[in-house]
Amino acid sequence: MKPAKLHYWVLGWFSMALCGWCTSNKFTQSDNHPHTWKKLYLVHHWPVTVCKMSANDCEHPPEYWTIHGLWPDKTEECNRTWHFNVTEIKDLLSDMRHSWPDVLHSSLNRTQFWKHEWEKHGTCAATLPVLNSQKKYFGKALELYHHIDLNSCLLKAGIKPSSSYYEMTAIKEALTRFYGVTPKIQCLPPEEGEKAQTIGQIEFCLTKELQLRNCTVQNGESKPMPADLKLGTEELSVCSDTLPTYYPSQVQDHK
């Protein structure tokens, strides 16, 4: 093969290879390799605490733990062109409205919360075949939520919304005993003049095989993601083991 022909052949081959990489790389627009996450967080939040953090349309929050999201660690917004389409989850809408409601907005027709969760986290989780569509992503999150059944677990342990305080160590021990792993629990710190923190979020960590694992950072892993819930000046953080813990039943309590 003559040098000129060889030159054009190499360029042509390289161009085809590059285009093939571009079209097959469905999940990202980043220059970095997108699929470096190692675990998932199934995040539950306590709607009463969420409402306490916000002045939005949040007058009658559910008094049961609901889904905040299913988040891969490290990665976010892996494909900004893969837009949310509610028609793809139409079969899930009844369960979504109950188990994964937009706590901050009362309208049952509002889908902005789900759009945010899909575009920020779902497009990254979609690197797993079991989560590689909107219906699979939301459907699997709902399945995991019902399987973990956090609400029943806490009730069985005698931990329920109350005007009394709990010890955080007792909550942790109950969850670890029930699930065999240690979740991550986040709270609102005490307001000025108060002594108790307010429980707000519980995260269960999962392997890529969707098996429960301890929420601890192992060698080579990223640090845990932030709470992903900041409203105004209030923000959740990992709960203190030494502070009394408030598990509120109503928004107006302990203000």
Three-class DSSP category at 187? strand
Catalytic residue among 45, 68, 119, 203: 68
Over the stretch 132-150, which tens digit does the pLDDT of each residue have? 999 999 999 999 999 999 9
- Which pTM does this prediction carry? 0.81
Catalytic residue among 44, 45, 119, 121: 121
Dihedral sign for Cα atoms in the order 184, 219, 228, 254: positive
Which CATH superfamily does the domain covering 37-246 fall into?
A: Ribonuclease T2-like (3.90.730.10)
Cβ atoms 187, 239 nearer than 8 A:
yes
121 annotated active-site: yes
CA distance 103 to 178: 27
Alpha helices in 25-167 (DSSP H): 47-52, 93-99, 112-117, 123-125, 134-148, 150-156
Over the stretch 90-143, which tens digit does the pLDDT of each residue have? 999 999 999 999 988 766 567 999 999 999 999 999 999 999 999 999 999 999
- Reply yes or no on whether the pLDDT at 229 is more than 90: no
How many beta carbons lie within 10 A of that of residue 218, not counting itself?
Answer: 9
Q: Pick the residue with more confidence: 241 or 227? A: 241
CA distance 67 to 102: 9
Per-residue model confidence (pLDDT) at position 193: 85
Q: Pick the residue with more confidence: 24 or 229? A: 229
Catalytic residue among 44, 117, 119, 203: 117
